[in-house]
């Protein structure tokens, strides 16, 4: 399979997928499971359930517990690059094939808020048609999901810290939407001051201080690590088409537009498609790239992200009745849908597994619509 014909790369723009580091071989001892992790997991599921109950009572329709509001639902293809070095040619990226993909752009909260309550952006990516040994709970499926945010690390280091954050979120679900808008504006002001001084605060962004920028200009990260064959890694989905990169940090007018991000995404895809690269950061040092501290940003000097695949999405209706039904309502995105070669790692991911399953089950039951994994 030749590079240029299958991935539409002019030869002058072939991505550099040389591996310049020696990745660690994953050892089971890299994961440290606390004795009370099951209790934390159970409590997390209960708190998430309370968010789902609240939003269902308010709207009569079951939403996702997090990333409830979607801004764009699109389909395209992913092409795995030819000639990848062995440590990068793993799992879903093992062979240079082309697969259908589904992409769902969203924002963080579990309730449907005015876009002026500006929180981190999410991307659910579903690759369809991958073969190989499966993770528990996804046997018989042929999908690989990656669930991402526009942040390089998670806001909470451990499951207990994550639980604390979620409890705060649960208390504010469906409370004071007008206050949330005002508070979000205040936090955006504080965040912009921090950024002018060369910093940024993941906590402020997560609470509503995210700049009012275009969701399609964002780079999305798996945030937490996962197995990558015999290694472990993080993943990024990076916009590379000039029409997308010019949207990075581009402000979006949300005045009197509670769904302004959705309008902006629909406007974009109505007339043009987009291209993203999928890049992998292989872990090279357990101290610098820990598994149990989800809040640690991995150094790109120690291990740069390397391109393994390219996603191409044609122009289409990004918010159609058909996509709302088949993608938003009937699909769930979970890093536990996938190959054993990409098992999620670390406490934050372990405790989320039952929560993802409960959330999908809640939606299926309350909306009378089973969750489908595409084939």
Output the pLDDT for position 339: 98
> pLDDT higher for 366 or 314?
314
Instruction: For Cα atoms 291, 297, 302, give the angle at the middle one, nearest 5 degrees.
Output: 90
- At 244 the pLDDT is 98
Query: Is 70 exceeded by the pLDDT of residue 350?
Result: yes
Instruction: Report which of residues 68 and 365 the model is more confident about.
Output: 365
Q: Which residue has the higher pLDDT, 184 or 367?
A: 367
The pLDDT of 241-257, averaged and rounded, is 95
What pLDDT sits at residue 167? 74
Judge residue 21's burial from the number of C-beta atoms within 10 Å of its C-beta, 0-12 exposed, 13-18 middle, 19 or more buried. Answer: middle
* Band of residue 52 on the pLDDT scale cut at 50, 70, 90: confident
Task: Tell me whether residue 312 is in a domain.
Answer: yes
Residue partners of 176: CB distance under 8 A and separation at least 6: none
10 located within any domain: no
Is residue 7 domain-resident?
A: no
Is the pLDDT higher at 68 or at 95? 95
On average, the pLDDT of the chain sits at 84
Segment 202-228 mean pLDDT = 81
- DSSP secondary structure code for residue 327 in this structure: I
**Whether 170 contacts 50, CB under 8 Å:** yes
Number of domains in the chain: 1
Q: Does residue 1 form part of some domain?
A: no
C-alpha to C-alpha distances, 284 to 296, 309, 313, nearest whole angstrom: 14, 21, 33
| 5 located within any domain | no
pLDDT at residue 30 is higher than 90: yes
Instruction: Output DSSP code: residue 209.
Output: B
With a pLDDT cut of 70, the percent of the chain lying above it is: 82
What's the chain's length in residues?
Answer: 375
pLDDT above 90: percentage of residues in the chain: 54
The whole-number pLDDT of residue 285 equals: 96
Q: Which one has a higher pLDDT value, 33 or 198?
A: 33
How far is residue 231's CA from residue 226's CA, in Å, rounded to a whole number? 9
Q: 8 in a domain, yes or no? A: no
* pLDDT tier at 18, thresholds 50, 70, 90: confident
Sign of CA dihedral 207, 208, 209, 212: positive
Mind listing the pLDDT tens digit for each residue in 119-173? Answer: 789 999 999 999 999 999 899 999 999 999 998 988 788 888 877 877 776 666 5
| Of 66-75, 84-93, 270-279, 350-359, the least confident | 350-359
Mean pLDDT throughout 252-258?
92
Reply yes or no on whether the pLDDT at 3 is more than 50. no
Cβ within 8 Å of residue 49, ≥6 positions away: 65, 358, 362
Which residue segment(s) compose the domain that 239 sits in? 17-365
- 304 part of a folded domain: yes
Q: In CATH, what number is assigned to the domain containing residue 225?
A: 2.40.180.10
Q: What's the confidence (pLDDT) of residue 303?
A: 97
């Amino acid at each position: 399979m030749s590079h240029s014909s299958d991935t539409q790369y002019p030869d002058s723009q072939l991505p550099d997928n040389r591996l310049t580091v020696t990745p660690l071989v994953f050892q089971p001892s890299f994961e440290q499971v606390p004795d009370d992790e099951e209790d934390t997991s159970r409590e997390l599921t209960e708190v998430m359930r309370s968010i789902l109950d609240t939003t269902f009572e308010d709207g009569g329709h079951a939403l996702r517990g997090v990333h409830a509001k979607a801004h764009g639902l699109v389909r395209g293809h992913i092409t795995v690059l030819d000639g990848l070095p062995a440590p990068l040619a793993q799992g879903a990226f093992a062979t240079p094939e082309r697969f259908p993909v589904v992409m769902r752009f969203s924002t963080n909260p579990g309730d449907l808020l005015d876009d002026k309550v500006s929180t981190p952006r999410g991307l659910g990516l579903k690759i369809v048609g991958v073969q190989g040994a499966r993770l528990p709970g996804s046997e018989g499926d042929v999908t690989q999901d990656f669930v991402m945010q526009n942040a390089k690390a998670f806001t909470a280091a451990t499951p207990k810290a994550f639980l604390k954050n979620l409890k705060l979120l649960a208390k504010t679900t469906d409370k004071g939407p007008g206050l949330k808008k005002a508070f979000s504006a205040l936090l955006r002001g504080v965040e912009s001051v921090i950024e002018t001084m060369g910093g940024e605060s993941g906590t402020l962004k997560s609470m509503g201080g995210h700049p009012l920028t275009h969701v399609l200009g964002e780079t999305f990260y798996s945030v937490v690590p996962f197995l990558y064959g015999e290694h472990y890694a993080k993943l990024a989905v990076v916009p590379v088409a000039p029409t997308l990169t010019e949207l990075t940090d581009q402000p979006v007018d949300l005045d009197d537009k509670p769904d302004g991000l959705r309008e902006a995404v629909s406007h974009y895809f109505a007339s043009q498609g987009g291209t993203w690269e999928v890049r992998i950061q292989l872990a090279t040092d357990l101290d610098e790239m820990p598994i149990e501290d989800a809040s640690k940003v991995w150094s790109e000097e120690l291990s740069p992200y390397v391109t393994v695949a390219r996603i191409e999405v044609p122009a289409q209706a990004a918010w159609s009745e058909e996509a709302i039904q088949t993608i938003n309502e009937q699909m769930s995105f979970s890093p536990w849908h996938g190959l054993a070669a990409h098992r999620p790692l670390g406490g934050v991911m372990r405790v989320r597994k039952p929560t993802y399953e409960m959330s999908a089950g809640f939606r299926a039951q309350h909306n009378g619509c089973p969750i489908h994994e595409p084939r």
